[in-house]
Amino acid sequence: MSSSHAANDSSASSRWSACARFKRSFSLAVLNTLIVTASWAQSSGVGFSAEERLEAIRQGLVQAALQGATRVESLAWLDGQGVLREGSSFRSGMEVRGVQVLSYLRDSAGQPQAQLQLPSSSSPVVNGLPVRRDLVSQPSASAGSCQKPSTLRHLIGLRMTVEGGWSVDEAPLAQALGQLTANLLQQSGGVAAGWGMLPRSAPAQSGYERVLLGTSADQLPWQASLVVKPAPPLPATGAASYLSVLPIWADRPVMASLNFSLVARGQSRPAFESSVQLELPRLAQAWGRPQLEASVRAQASHLIQPWAQALSEQFACELLRPDVIAVRGVELSINAGTLAGVRTGDEWLLADPQRFPQQILASGVASTAVLARVGQVFPHHAQLQIVAGPTDLVRTDWRAWRADSPILPTVIQR
């Protein structure tokens, strides 16, 4: 009987010990979860207002500018009263291509801070200002060579124009060549990772036509022009050199020049331009409009490959920086939409590109930047609402930098 009681006591003690160990393990797991959750909540911005997050980003950009090269200019002059006046300006060589917020923290005084990762840029800097590079002079680049390839696409509005100077029989060939080349460029952009190309309407002649026919493609960050115009024929040899001067020479070759140029919105100097020439042989047919031969189609496809390659190299590592195209109080529009990869809920940092970020160390420049959130997205543009910062300073032609959210913690499966 005593042995039975001892066995029961031993069994109860074992169950109690197992239960205690389970409770202790469960408590430690809950405590660890609470600690991880609290740490993630702080680093991911939970508990930080939009104003606090904007202020943290501003301070992070100022600190990044202080760590780089800065040019200080001092000026002294005498005013009308004969009093000596002095002034100084600070110009940073930093170029902000995008803002990746790794975490939000608070310092010992409770002030918000942001740990930023600013994608590096190889754009040259002249007189403290970054300048756009000519695509021809750029080294080859690929999305794999970027620190973090962009998930957004650069959209280019393409306008095709056929200049005059063609005969009645040559004009259809020139029109067909221009349309073929435009289609080939759009097809290349359709499979490219960093850019795409959309057709633009013909230039409007009046304000009424601009309102009636204008499209959002005319306000894209990049504009391309494809011009087809007559080119001088190649020098003839042999007997053809004598026949070529006769206007009735039936076999006179038709030469066309394809001129392509790419210009950033708001700029006049092309970022890339190139020209090629090719011959347009006619198809022998009794009736109908002249048609392009298959050899011409193949030659055109081959000639524009360097253009598509140059565009891919340009946009492989360059992050999208749209322009503000409309402002209505706290609401505004940027010239990037669903076709560029913009999503509802994305946040963008908006600032005046004439002063930001080059003059971010100057008094009051950082405080003008605002934070806006995407509310509605359309194919070519998106509507945003200002959530932090001064709402009365934003103007059209301000620039937008994507302010990525903090990196979320990875869930570990056990």
Higher local confidence (pLDDT), 87 or 220: 220
| Same domain assignment for residues 311 and 323 | no
* 282-303 average pLDDT score: 77
Confidence tier at 288 by pLDDT (50, 70, 90): low
Task: Find which of 61-70, 122-131, 151-160, 276-285 is predicted with most confidence, using mean pLDDT.
Answer: 151-160
Mean pLDDT of 278-295: 72
- In this predicted structure, what is the pLDDT of residue 216? 65
**Do 228 and 342 fall within a single domain?**
no
224 and 339 together in one domain: no
Residues 263 and 323 in one domain: no
Shared domain for 363 and 306, answered yes or no, is: no
Hey, which residues does 261 pair with through a beta bridge? 225, 273
Mean pLDDT of 246-260: 73
Is the model's pLDDT at 135 over the cut of 50? no
Q: How many domains are contained in the chain?
A: 2
Least confident of 57-66, 210-219, 328-337, 400-409: 210-219
Domain boundary among 259, 288, 315: 315
Phi and psi based region of residue 46 (left: phi greater than 0; alpha: psi -120 to 50; beta: remaining): beta
How far are the Cα atoms of 53, 135, 137, 146, 282 from residue 141, in angstroms, in the given order?
A: 34, 11, 12, 8, 40
Domain that holds residue 142: 135-233+251-315
Mean pLDDT of the chain: 73
Beta bridge partners of 260: 226, 274
304 and 341 in a common domain: no
Residues 381 and 324 in one domain: yes
Higher pLDDT among residues 357 and 36, named by residue = 357
**Is residue 47 pLDDT above 90, yes or no?**
no
**Which has more confidence, 31 or 96?**
96
Determine, yes or no, domain membership for 243: no
Q: What is the CATH number of the domain that holds 385?
A: 2.40.10.410
- Give a yes or no: residue 91 inside a domain: yes
Burial degree of 44 (CB within 10 A; 0-12, 13-18, 19+): middle
Q: Which of 315, 341, 363 is the last residue of a domain?
A: 315
Predicted pLDDT at 377: 94
| pLDDT over 90 at 333, yes or no | yes
Distant-in-sequence, close-in-space partners of 64: CB < 8 Å, separation ≥ 6: 94, 116, 118
Residue 408 pLDDT greater than 50, yes or no: no
Last residue of a domain, one of 315, 337, 371: 315
* Beta bridge partner(s), residue 326: 333
**Residue at 22 is within a domain:** no
In a domain, 241, yes or no: no
Per-residue pLDDT at 259 exceeds 90: yes
Spatial CA neighbour of 337 closest among 327, 323, 350? 323
Question: In this predicted structure, what is the pLDDT of residue 375?
Answer: 95
Judge if 204 and 145 occupy the same domain: yes
**Mean per-residue pLDDT, 365-383:** 92
| Element at 275 (helix H, strand E) | strand 272-279
Average pLDDT over residues 72-91: 62
Q: How much is the average pLDDT of 307-334?
A: 90
- 151 versus 309: which is more confidently predicted? 309
Within this chain, do residues 57 and 156 fall inside the same structural domain, yes or no? no
Between residues 94 and 135, the one the model is more confident about: 94
pLDDT band at 57 (very low <50, low <70, confident <90, very high): confident
Question: 337 with 188, same domain?
Answer: no
Classify residue 44 by its DSSP letter.
T
pLDDT class for 125, splitting at 50, 70, 90?
A: very low
Residue 296 included in any domain: yes
C-alpha separations of 76 from 83, 84, 86, 88, 364 in Å: 10, 7, 4, 9, 21
Amino acid found at 114: A
Q: Which position has the higher pLDDT, 128 or 100?
A: 100
Q: Is pLDDT above 70 for 203?
A: no
**Same domain assignment for residues 349 and 379:** yes
Question: What average pLDDT does this structure show over 77-92?
Answer: 62
- The residue-averaged pLDDT of 155-174 equals 90
Which has more pLDDT, 79 or 24?
Answer: 79
Domain assignment present for 275: yes
CA dihedral (377, 381, 385, 387) in degrees, to 10, reads 90
Query: What mean pLDDT is predicted for residues 344-371?
Result: 87
Tell which phi-psi region holds residue 165, choosing left (phi > 0), alpha (psi between -120 and 50) or beta. Answer: left
pLDDT at 343: 94
**Nearest Cα to Cα of residue 99 among 86, 114, 87:** 114
Examine residue 11 and state whether it is found in any structural domain, yes or no. no
Least confident of 228-232, 283-287, 391-395: 283-287
Average pLDDT over residues 54-79: 71
Identify which of 271, 277, 281 has the alpha carbon closest to the alpha carbon of residue 259: 277
**215 and 291 inside one domain:** yes
Q: What is the CATH number for 267?
A: 3.40.50
State percent of the chain over pLDDT 70: 60
**Model-wide pTM > 0.85:** no
Q: Which two tokens stand for residue 298?
A: 């193949």
* pLDDT on residue 62: 79
- Using an 8 Å Cβ cutoff, are 350 and 235 in contact? no
Question: Is the pLDDT higher at 327 or at 4?
Answer: 327
